[in-house]
């Protein structure tokens, strides 16, 4: 019923028209979030993170933008800096916009005169880079001698491909609205309006009939419409959606018209931004075809394409959604930007439908696949968020493609805006964190104080203080994880079919309730000091994946409350976890570790670990204590092994390999980074050459060069065989099998080619074996000739 009613009667809100000072009543979401500026968080989980974002991460990213040429792009476009040197990506301007947005949000929470001055200076630089008619795209305005290959010979020429002109505009608009609402200053807003007016002039039926290559301008235009009241912006946002497809590609959701799409496809960030924009247009226009499409797509995602952590986008081939149930763990992409976009989308879906299942997905993403994207220090980041690692994943201080880093700054500051929502006299309590908030309902203003130690403990206490006694409804969300549903649908389930009941009292008296769309509904005349107490069962749960998810076969995952847990090397024997097996019936306990990773609860149980023996199929088995930590906290102690999905069947475990001449050798190579060296001799055999589930070594983006890898043995040894398994991620990736390769051994101080018994052969999807006349040596080397147009890589290199 909620779904049908939302489609028939979308709500109305008042928007300010800043150009005229008047207000207009317009159609919009029936349920409105309570602005984060009205929600004052003071808990021990989120408040420190938001403080770190404001005082550490935002200044850090501003400095990195300066160091890495982002600001120089604008200075050169404004002719304030000589030369035509550009940064690497045409969307690099958006890093500046996003950090301005994040800073604006942070300044709304806590004034910061120094940051305010820095942002004013940045806006002045941006304004100087804008062309007279409103065009703002540094990669064209600089007019370099060698234009970026993604930039066409004229404006908008490659917009449907990779130019990112409209993508840059979208982030500009979002930053401008945030800055205006934070400071009341129109400096950046005027720049955005000038650019938006240009888009209105240039795009539309009978003009430039093109869609954005990377969606987000639709969201930005709607935000700009809400602030200015200019309906042309709303119309243009809808145009960009309606003109999309059907002659494009799945990669950027253009192979069909948007209203004809019913499954998630292509690049996950582009997709989720588009679905968010579609929800905005559906809310404001009441377009039921938009609603039908995003409803179906949402069910496709939560039913077949979302990780337990809330991550979306399974494959690095196009940073895209995979097929149904294609959810690999070690090669999971699950981009941080996609997690943020997933929160935006699910927030809008809730505003449309009023169902807690959307907040269930939002919360899962927030605490797991999104929060994992930033280190506890606030200065190290993940781009992909895998669910398993052999140590090949490591947080970085910066990426050349820094979209996830700057995106995190703008998101963290706005977290309190997802806690509450309202619709006339309905007050929704969606997330649980200690805070105080002031909420305007139709009948009265309500002050609500929430105290809780969530997500560690399940007690939530609310004190309701209306300005005057009034009748209204409090809708208290009971999370799906507390009622046998990790994620809506049947993609994941608990091994235990019983969860203790959620208990609720009102002014000390038990409340008997039936859930409506996942909410406890309490309608009454509220008075000052009324208290609601809810207790959520913080049981340690074991989660199983749908049998069609082949990568999770024979495995389970730990979950406690909203938090997904993982095993990480530093907490377990020999710093290994891939060789661990835990029985599904094993008892688990929890303990609070105040000194560990800024304080957290660990899950502790007993398991087994396995080890291979040389020249034998028999495994040695050891009983050991096993510790799990929340997934968001992994990789804060350096690279190492990690896994979310824990084997309970022996066939799913990866026994510790037996020592071989290769595994005990020192690895060197022509790579600048040594992070990939362990892949060569980890004894993990891929399913095929494109298998990215296990670590591999690659030379990308090098092409048409001669590279090498080398083993230095612990002692002089006699060897007579080499076998290598090539990495080849065609057709999407940049690696192919090499043109040729040669094996050398060390003789004195010289490298001498071995004498093969048969000619070399090169093939993918199998070991390439070379047997040669035995040599006694201290080291062996493989020289690899890369293809002219591609790079190459190696899964495994064994020596016998």
Where are the chain's structural domains? 2-418, 421-477+501-535, 540-652, 666-799
Q: CB atoms < 10 A from the CB of 585, how many?
A: 8
Q: What is the mean pLDDT of residues 541-559?
A: 97
Burial pattern 498-521, b for ≥16 Cβ within 10 A else e, equals ebeebebebeeeeeeeeeebbbbe
Residue 717 pLDDT > 90: yes
pLDDT for 298: 98
CB 224 within 8 A of CB 173: yes
pLDDT for 16: 38
Active-site positions read 319, 403
Beta-bridge mates of residue 24: 15
Q: What is the mean pLDDT of residues 648-652?
A: 92
pLDDT for 713: 96
Helices (H), 390-531: 403-412
Residue 711 pLDDT > 90: yes
Residue 514 pLDDT > 70: yes
421-477+501-535: CATH architecture: Sandwich (2.60)
Residue 21 pLDDT > 60: no
pLDDT for 139: 97
CA distance 369 to 361: 11
Q: CB atoms < 10 A from the CB of 376, how many?
A: 16
pLDDT for 683: 87
Q: What band does 395 get if pLDDT is binned at 50, 70 and 90?
A: very high
Helices (H), 608-700: none
* pLDDT tens per residue, range 168-224: 999 999 999 999 999 999 999 999 999 999 999 999 999 999 999 999 999 999 999
CA distance 799 to 707: 19
In the CATH scheme, what is the code of domain 2-418? 1.50.10
CA distance 271 to 228: 27
| Nearest of 108, 183, 61, 630 to residue 417 by alpha carbon | 108
- What average pLDDT does the structure give for the chain? 94
Peptide bond into 246 cis (omega under 30): yes
CA distance 146 to 778: 49
Percent of the chain exceeding pLDDT 90 equals 89
CB 116 within 8 A of CB 106: no
| Nearest of 549, 547, 525, 347 to residue 446 by alpha carbon | 525
CA distance 329 to 385: 9
666-799: CATH architecture: Sandwich (2.60)
Indicate the range of 9-23, 91-105, 727-741, 753-767 predicted with least confidence. 9-23
Q: How far is CA 20 from the centre of its chain?
A: 40
CA distance 712 to 665: 5
| Nearest of 456, 477, 431 to residue 560 by alpha carbon | 456
Q: How far is CA 408 from the centre of its chain?
A: 9
Q: What band does 26 get if pLDDT is binned at 50, 70 and 90?
A: low
CB 65 within 8 A of CB 71: yes
Q: What band does 658 get if pLDDT is binned at 50, 70 and 90?
A: confident
Which stretch of DSSP H or E encloses residue 607?
Answer: strand 600-612
**3-state helix/strand/coil string of 57-119:** HHHHHHHHHHHCCHHHHHHHHCCCCCCCCCCCCCCCHHHHHHHHHHHHHHHHHCCCHHHHHHH
CA distance 277 to 345: 8
Quote the tokens at residue 2.
Answer: 């909620």
pLDDT for 494: 96
| Nearest of 616, 595, 611, 600 to residue 566 by alpha carbon | 600
Q: What is the mean pLDDT of residues 93-117?
A: 94
Indicate the range of 225-234, 459-468, 643-652, 683-692 predicted with least confidence. 683-692
* pLDDT tens per residue, range 430-482: 999 999 999 999 999 999 999 999 999 999 999 999 999 999 999 999 999 99
Q: How does strand 426-429 pair with strand 470-477?
A: parallel
Residue 547 pLDDT > 60: yes
Give φ, ψ of 71 to 5 degrees: -75, -35
């Amino acid at each position: 019923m909620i779904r049908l009613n939302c489609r028939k009667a979308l709500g109305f809100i008042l928007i300010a028209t800043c150009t005229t000072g008047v207000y207009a009543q317009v159609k919009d979401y029936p349920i409105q979030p309570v602005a984060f500026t009205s929600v004052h968080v003071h808990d021990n989980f989120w408040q420190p993170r938001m403080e770190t974002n404001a005082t550490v991460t935002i200044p850090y990213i501003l400095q990195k933008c300066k160091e890495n040429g982002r600001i120089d792009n604008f200075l050169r476009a404004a002719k304030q800096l000589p030369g035509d040197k550009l940064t690497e990506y045409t969307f690099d301007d958006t890093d500046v916009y996003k950090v301005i947005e994040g800073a604006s949000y942070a300044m709304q929470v806590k004034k910061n005169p120094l940051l305010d001055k820095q942002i004013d200076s940045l806006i002045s630089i941006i304004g100087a880079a804008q062309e007279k008619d409103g065009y703002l795209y540094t990669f064209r305005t600089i007019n370099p001698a060698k234009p970026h290959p993604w930039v066409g010979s004229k404006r908008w020429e490659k917009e449907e491909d990779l130019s990112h002109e409209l993508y840059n505009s979208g982030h500009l608009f979002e930053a401008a609205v945030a800055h205006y609402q934070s400071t009341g200053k129109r400096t950046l807003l005027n720049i955005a309006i000038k650019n938006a007016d240009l888009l209105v002039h240039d795009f539309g039926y009978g003009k430039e009939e093109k869609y954005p290559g990377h969606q987000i301008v639709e969201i930005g235009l709607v935000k700009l419409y809400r602030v200015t009241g200019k309906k042309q912006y709303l119309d243009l946002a809808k145009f960009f959606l309606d003109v999309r497809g059907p002659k494009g590609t799945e990669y950027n959701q253009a192979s069909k018209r948007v209203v004809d799409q019913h499954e998630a496809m292509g690049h996950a960030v582009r997709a989720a931004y588009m679905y968010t924009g579609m929800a905005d247009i559906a809310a404001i226009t009441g377009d039921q075809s938009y609603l039908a499409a995003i409803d179906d797509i949402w069910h496709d995602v939560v039913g077949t394409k979302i990780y337990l952590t809330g991550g979306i986008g399974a494959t690095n081939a196009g940073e895209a959604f995979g097929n149904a149930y294609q959810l690999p763990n070690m090669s999971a992409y699950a981009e941080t930007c996609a997690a943020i976009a997933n929160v935006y989308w699910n927030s809008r879906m809730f505003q449309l439908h009023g169902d807690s299942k959307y907040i269930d997905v939002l919360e899962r993403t927030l605490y797991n696949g999104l929060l994992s994207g930033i280190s506890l220090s606030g200065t190290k980041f993940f781009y992909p968020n895998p669910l398993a690692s052999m140590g090949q994943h490591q947080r970085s201080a910066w990426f050349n493609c820094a979209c996830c880093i700057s995106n995190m700054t703008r998101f963290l500051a706005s977290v309190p805006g997802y806690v509450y929502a309202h619709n006339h006299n309905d007050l929704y309590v969606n997330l649980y964190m200690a805070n105080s908030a002031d909420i305007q309902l139709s009948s009265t203003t309500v002050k609500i104080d929430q105290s809780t130690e969530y997500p560690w403990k399940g007690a939530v206490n609310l004190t309701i203080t209306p300005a005057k006694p009034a009748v209204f409804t409090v809708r208290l969300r009971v999370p799906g994880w507390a009622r046998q549903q990790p994620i809506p649908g049947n993609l994941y389930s608990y091994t235990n079919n019983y969860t203790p009941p959620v208990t609720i009292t009102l002014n000390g008296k038990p409340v008997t309730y039936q859930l409506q769309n996942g909410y406890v509904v309490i309608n009454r005349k509220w008075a000052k000091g009324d208290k609601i107490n809810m207790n959520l069962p913080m049981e340690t749960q074991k989660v199983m994946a749908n049998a069609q998810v082949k990568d999770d076969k024979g495995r389970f995952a730990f979950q406690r409350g909203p938090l997904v847990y993982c095993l990480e090397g530093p907490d377990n024997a020999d710093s290994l976890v891939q060789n661990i097996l835990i029985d599904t019936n094993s008892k688990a306990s929890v303990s609070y570790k105040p000194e560990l990773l800024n304080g957290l609860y660990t899950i502790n149980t007993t398991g087994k670990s396995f080890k291979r023996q040389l020249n034998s199929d028999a495994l040695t088995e050891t009983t050991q204590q096993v510790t799990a930590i929340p997934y968001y906290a992994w990789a804060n102690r350096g690279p190492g092994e990690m896994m979310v999905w824990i084997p309970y069947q022996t066939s799913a475990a990866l026994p510790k390999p037996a020592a071989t001449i290769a595994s005990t050798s020192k690895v060197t190579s022509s790579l600048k980074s040594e992070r990939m060296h362990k892949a060569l001799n980890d004894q993990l055999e891929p399913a095929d050459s494109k298998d990215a589930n296990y670590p591999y070594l690659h030379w990308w983006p090098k092409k048409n060069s001669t590279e090498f890898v080398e083993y230095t043995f612990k002692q002089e040894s006699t060897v007579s065989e080499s076998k290598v398994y090539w990495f080849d991620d065609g057709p999407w990736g940049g690696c192919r099998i090499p043109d040729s390769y040669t094996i050398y051994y060390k003789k004195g101080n010289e490298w001498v080619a071995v004498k093969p018994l048969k000619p070399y052969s090169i093939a993918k999807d199998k070991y390439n074996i070379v047997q040669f006349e035995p040599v006694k040596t201290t080291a062996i080397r493989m020289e690899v000739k890369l293809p002219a147009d591609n790079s190459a890589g190696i899964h495994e290199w064994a020596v016998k």
